[in-house]
Amino acid sequence: MKAWYDKIDAVERVSDLEAIRIAVFGKKGVLAAEFAKMKDAPNEDKAAIAKELNIHKGRLTALLTQKKEMLQLHELEAAMKAEAIDVTLYSAPSQSGSLHPVMETMDRIVEYFSSMNFAVYTGPMIEDDFHNFEALNLPKYHPARDMQDTFYFKDEMLLRTHTSPVQIRTMLQSQPPIRMIAPGAVFRRDYDLTHTPMFHQVEGLLVDEAGSVSFANLKFILEDFLHYMFGDVAVRFRPSFFPFTEPSAEVDISCIFCEGEGCRVCSKTGWLEVLGCGIVDSNVFQAVNYNNVSGYAFGLGVERFAMLIHRIGDLRSLFEGDVRLLEQFR
């Protein structure tokens, strides 16, 4: 029997243990054979032989189990080592992208107005004359159409020159009260340091019962918004004109470059114009069949905000796709 202990000791693979188990414990195995021999042994020795065989049986069983567990553990460890990923291996550097500064700025603007319960609406970039002009109190041949140099298609369609047509679409679709913003791309025939033919606006519109919306409401939220975007700046409202609002205003912040001293960016005025706004003109409500309502609207250029926040001198550089510029905004 002694030889079997050594054999078990010497085994190196779990699969080889099974053969030994069968050779020892199987029906035709050594133990069975040893027990069979007992019938030829003298009667007085039988008890001692049986006792010894049973001791071997117990010890060999324990040894086999122990050996099996040990070998399984080793094999598992070997497998884990073989399959491990070497994280110290060299790999070619990869480049991660980032949000374009214009989109990041737009997200911040949307975030502010969402937090004030304004819903986000979008509209088509290819618009018709009615939504882009007519319903916004800009009848054909109105001189104010020249304020916005328009890209026209052959069939009376055009690229929207502002996000204001989304006001019209939203009012035609739903009933007051309305509290919406409309972020999106707009198009004008313009190209210089501060103008590109495509840029982005965020429009805002609030409509409620007649007499319930005042210029003071508009002033309050825009001041709060501009402080959210630019921090501790002075804000001023200047009377202005838009066909779709009356009264209208343009809103300036104190120049963030010279803090109001007067510099090249603010043309020595100490102020930077950042948005247009006003009380919705009654002709606009008439065009969408709204009665007994009052409201305010505002519109702003996202690129202008991004340029001021990131101190970018030339608007065109935002659209050249130069990775060196974009990498600065990671």
Binding segment toward ligand PHE, per CB under 6 A, in 7-15, 30-38, 101-109, 274-282: 274-282
The site map against ligand PHE for 228-267 (x = CB under 6 A) is --------------x--x----------------------
Asked whether the CA dihedral 40, 44, 49, 55 is positive or negative, the reply is positive
101 counts as binding ligand PHE under rule CB under 6 A: no
Q: How far is CA 145 from the centre of its chain?
A: 38
Q: Does 276 sit near ligand PHE (CB under 6 A)?
A: yes
- Strand 178-187 to strand 119-120: parallel, antiparallel, or no bridges (unpaired)? parallel
Amino acid at 252: D
Closer CB to ligand PHE, residue 31 or residue 186?
186
Binding flag, residue 170, ligand PHE (CB under 6 A)? no
CA atoms 41, 46, 52, 58: torsion sign: positive
Q: CA-CA distances (angstroms) from residue 41 to 2, 182, 246, 317?
A: 21, 103, 123, 105
176 binds ligand PHE (CB under 6 A): no
Lookup: tokens for 32: 């069975």
Q: Smallest gap, in angstroms, from Cβ of residue 298 to ligand PHE?
A: 5
How many Å is the Cα radius of gyration of the chain?
42
Q: Which span sits near ligand PHE by CB under 6 A: 93-101, 126-134, 229-237, 273-281?
A: 273-281
What is the nearest approach in angstroms of ligand PHE to the Cβ of residue 299? 3
x/- string (CB under 6 A) for ligand PHE, residues 195-234? --------x-------------------------------
Closer to ligand PHE by CB, 60 or 284: give it. Answer: 284
Q: How does DSSP classify residue 137?
A: T
Cα–Cα distance measured from residue 274 to residue 304, given in angstroms and rounded to the nearest whole number: 7
**Would you state the structure tokens that stand for residue 234, as one six-digit string?**
């002075």
Instruction: Name which position in 165, 184, 278, 295 contacts ligand PHE (CB under 6 A).
Output: 278
Both tokens of 194, joined, read: 């501060």
Cβ atoms within 10 Å of 164's Cβ, excluding its own:
29
- Distance in angstroms (rounded) separating the CA atoms of residues 313 and 307: 7
Based on the shown chain and the rule CB under 6 A, indicate whether residue 298 belongs to the binding site for ligand PHE. Answer: yes
Q: Give me the least distance between CB of 257 and ligand PHE, in Å please.
A: 23
CA angle 309, 312, 316 (to 5 degrees): 125
Q: How far is the CB of 163 from ligand PHE (least distance, A)?
A: 7
User: Does 295 participate in binding ligand PHE (rule CB under 6 A)?
Assistant: no
Min separation Cβ 165 and ligand PHE, Å:
9
Residues in contact with ligand PHE, counted by CB under 6 A, come to a total of 11
Q: Which residues bind ligand PHE (CB under 6 A)?
A: 162, 164, 203, 242, 245, 276-278, 297-299
